[in-house]
Amino acid sequence: KLSALKAKDKHHDDIDRLEPMKWLNSVLMDVFVSKLNVKFALPVYDQRVAFLDSTFTLHYILLATKSHDTLKNPAGSIRSKPLKALQHRFKDKGITLIFPLNVNNTHWLVGAIFRASSTIGIFDSLIGESSNQAYHKLAYENMKKVWKVLAEAWFKDLHVPDQEWKFVVHTKIPKQGNVSDCGVFAIILIKSRFHLHIGSLFTQKIWLLTVSIKHTTRSKKKICNSYLKIKSKTCKVLSPAPGISEAAVSVHLSDVVGLLWEMGMDVGEEQGLDVFISWKNVLYLQERNENPFRVWNHRRRYLSLVCEIIGPRVVMEELANGNLSTSAPIDPT
């Protein structure tokens, strides 16, 4: 897949960065983030989660090269386009904002503001080193400031006291265990964890993305049954839409909660989970007799997962159009 991509577009070292042991860059992170933004702008997802891109976080969250006042006009209204696009979603005040954060051009981690639970969270795949605390704290302080700007602009009529935030550095998350994969882990963390806070529709389920339609519904169910130890009656296989070679298997969270614990994910404190695993990987692992959820430590799995999520065609199109980092969420209305 990678070699096909590279043959198409030799000039972009962005694609080279998907190779094992290479560090991910902001272009790749932002492609991913913009894809999620499009997805979560759909009404079906309740529009309660939004993602800011790596340039926004560079300017306002971690390096904070710009004053937070530049987010607004002198009159107090929001000037920053990525934030402006969030205004209509802000009304119910239950929004979740997700930030991919870069430290010193060496490390990726994830910050998040969960308005519904008044929590600001840090998800760091390198957690455990005491040197991390300084930038966790810095990110927390700056996320608070960004929120304050937003609250002042959009909750003007209401009496908004200074928000009390809980600051949580999450510890029970997958760790990278090497010196090259934090970008991939950041993507996985964004992907797997933040769905938890967006409402009930897609929670309580795991979706196994399929890339092959060669397997019948029955054989897919059989694999789920024998391999993932999921009861086939709780396993629903969705048919691929016309013209789309992807289909999905959804299973109930309660059936795989043990596996998730093995992955180091603390499901109990959350309300649900939405994980995407490539069907092809499941089949591959089945042949190798490995547990698909155990391979999360292997970069190749992560990277193929990233490719699946971003979609090579999309990457190519975006590269060709010079559109690699639209940060503003697209509003379908």
Contacts to other proteins by CB under 8 A = 11, 17, 22-27, 29, 54-56, 58-59, 65, 79-83, 102-108, 126, 129, 131-132, 135, 178-183, 322-323, 325-328
Phi/psi at 300 (nearest 5 deg)?
Answer: -60, -40
Residue labelled with tokens 């698909």: 292
Residue closer to other proteins, measured from CB, 111 or 183: 183
Residue closer to other proteins, measured from CB, 55 or 217: 55
Residue labelled with tokens 């990678």: 2
- What pairing do the DSSP bridges indicate for beta strands 276-278 and 247-252? unpaired
Residue closer to other proteins, measured from CB, 101 or 198: 101
Selection from 242, 245, 241, 250 nearest residue 277 by Cα? 250
Whole-number CA gyration radius for the chain: 20
Residue closer to other proteins, measured from CB, 103 or 188: 103
Alpha carbon distance 41, 155 (integer Å)? 21
Alpha carbon distance 54, 198 (integer Å)? 22
Selection from 70, 65, 66 nearest residue 83 by Cα? 70
CB of 109 to other proteins, least distance (A): 8
CB of 120 to other proteins, least distance (A): 20
Residue closer to other proteins, measured from CB, 83 or 282: 83
Residue closer to other proteins, measured from CB, 291 or 325: 325
Q: What is the DSSP string of 219-273?
A: HHHHHHHHHS---GGG-EEPPPPTT---EEEEEEHHHHHHHHHHTT--GGGSS--
Which residues are within 8 A (CB) of 204 and not within 5 positions of it... i.e. 6 or more apart?
252, 253, 254, 271, 272, 273
CB of 248 to other proteins, least distance (A): 31
Residue closer to other proteins, measured from CB, 60 or 114: 60
> Which neighbouring-strand residues pair with 121?
112, 168
HSE-CB for 74 with a 13 A CA cutoff: 0
CB of 82 to other proteins, least distance (A): 5
CB of 44 to other proteins, least distance (A): 25
DSSP annotation of 90 reads G
CB of 277 to other proteins, least distance (A): 23
CB of 100 to other proteins, least distance (A): 9
Alpha carbon distance 167, 151 (integer Å)? 18
CB of 162 to other proteins, least distance (A): 25
Question: Kind and range of the H or E element at 13?
Answer: helix 13-16
Residue closer to other proteins, measured from CB, 160 or 320: 320
